[in-house]
Amino acid sequence: MKFGVITFPGSNCDEDMIYVLKEIMNQEVVSLWHKDTDIQNVDVVVVPGGFSYGDALRSGAIARFSPIMEQVIEHCNNGGYAIGVCNGFQILCESGLLPGALLHNTSHKFICKNVFIAPQNTDTAITANLTKGKGYKIPIAHGEGRYFASEETIKELNANDQVLFRYCDEDGNINSENNPNGSVENIAGVTNKQRTVFGMMPHPERAADDELGNTDGRLFFESMIKEIEGNLV
């Protein structure tokens, strides 16, 4: 399967993502520049974390207008797969490919630590091989990670089972004490109605290498690769 990882000015997790996909998950990976107008027929577009354009205006607001995003939007509108992590999630929301927005953390501080997130369904590629309700340890690193959407949108997300992950404790219990940034309903990740575009604030690529002492994130990639490969056959 072929992945394309986009680099914007200010991206800082692109090489991490390329390393995990290529060296650990043994996938074909191409690097895409934000000024490119060809996504090289990739199966999955990856919008990585970082601080695109220095988070000017607001996170993802400028990157959304990079030339490559026209092709990303077309790819997704035609049923293609995409995943955005951290700043990538913000960019996908700004692009209208995912509902909601990411606001400043309620603490108004940058937060960098391990958290636990619980899958809320098993009917998407990224969650299909995970255990619903189990706490997976995945790092976060963001200042604008508070997921927000209108009350109507939240109702729709819940009704359509579009919430991918919620912040929780080690045992999978979802409560305010384990909400690191004030996200509405502890939401850590969502998908589109077609279940082809995934966005999440935590960084699974930072929990995929044995050398780091935590490989929970590798399970997310394994699930996504297995399920998408099956759908592409």
What is residue 87's three-state secondary structure?
helix
Confidence class of residue 206 from pLDDT cuts 50, 70 and 90?
very high
User: What's residue 122's pLDDT?
Assistant: 96
* Average pLDDT, integer, range 88-116: 97
**Whether the Cβ atoms of residue 167 and residue 180 lie closer than 8 Å to each other:** yes
Does pLDDT of 160 surpass 80? Answer: yes
**Whether the Cβ atoms of residue 105 and residue 181 lie closer than 8 Å to each other:** yes
Pairing of strands 101-103, 163-168: unpaired
CATH number for position 67? 3.40.50.880
What is residue 166's three-state secondary structure?
strand
**Whether the Cβ atoms of residue 73 and residue 184 lie closer than 8 Å to each other:** no
Does pLDDT of 233 surpass 70? Answer: no
- How many domains does one find in the chain? 1
CB atoms within 10 A of CB 138: 28
Q: Determine which helix (DSSP H) or strand (DSSP E) holds 93, and give its type and residue range.
A: helix 87-94
Full domain range(s) for residue 92 = 2-232
* Mean of all residue pLDDT scores within the chain: 97
**Whether the Cβ atoms of residue 139 and residue 202 lie closer than 8 Å to each other:** yes
Q: Determine which helix (DSSP H) or strand (DSSP E) holds 188, and give its type and residue range.
A: strand 187-191
Counted residue by residue, the chain has a size of: 233
The pLDDT tens digits of the residues spanning 166-185 come to 999 999 999 999 999 999 99
By C-alpha distance, which of 100, 136, 106 is closest to 120?
136
Phi-psi region of 65 (alpha: psi -120 to 50; beta: other; left: phi over 0): alpha
Q: What pTM did the predictor assign? A: 0.96
Percentage, residues of the chain above pLDDT 90: 94
Record the tokens describing residue 5, joined without a space: 């990882």
What is residue 35's three-state secondary structure?
coil
The pLDDT tens digits of the residues spanning 130-151 come to 999 999 999 999 999 999 999 9
Question: Which of these ranges, 34-48, 53-67, 191-205, 211-225, has the smallest mean pLDDT?
Answer: 53-67
Distance CA 205, CA 96 (A): 24
User: What's residue 72's pLDDT?
Assistant: 98
By C-alpha distance, which of 219, 127, 137, 134 is closest to 171?
134
Active-site residues, by number, are 86, 203, 205
* Average pLDDT, integer, range 66-70: 97
- Distance, C-alpha 111 to centroid of its chain: 17
User: What's residue 58's pLDDT?
Assistant: 80
